[in-house]
Amino acid sequence: MAKKTYRCPVIGTGTSGDEFRPSVSKYPCAYWVVPSHFAPGSAKVVVEVEATALQHTVIALDTLIEVLL
């Protein structure tokens, strides 16, 4: 597993069962965490993802997600 940092859109309606979350949550990855709190309605958020090399490759193909580190 390797860690990478991404900037991605926030998805979800903020309701129970559809909470606000980073769009990387759509991808099957081992672990993701938002290192700081983000306000509801934020357009984008920085998120740290721990995943396999293949999972990172798939995430990086999403044109709405920016690889930071």
Tell me whether residue 56 is exposed, middle or buried, using C-beta atoms within 10 angstroms of its C-beta: 0 to 12, 13 to 18, 19 or more.
buried
| pLDDT for res 41 | 67
In this structure, the chain runs to a length of: 69
What is the number of domains present in the chain?
Answer: 1
Which two structure tokens, joined as six digits, stand for 65?
């997600």
Which two structure tokens, joined as six digits, stand for 53?
């090399």
| pLDDT for res 40 | 64
> What is the domain extent for residue 57?
2-67
Euclidean distance between CA atoms 48 and 25, whole angstroms: 11
| pLDDT for res 66 | 96
Amino acid at 52: T
Secondary structure (3-state) at 44: strand
Amino acid at 37: H
Confidence (pTM): 0.85
| pLDDT for res 69 | 78
pLDDT in tens, 2-60: 999 999 999 988 888 888 889 999 998 778 998 777 666 678 999 999 999 999 999 99
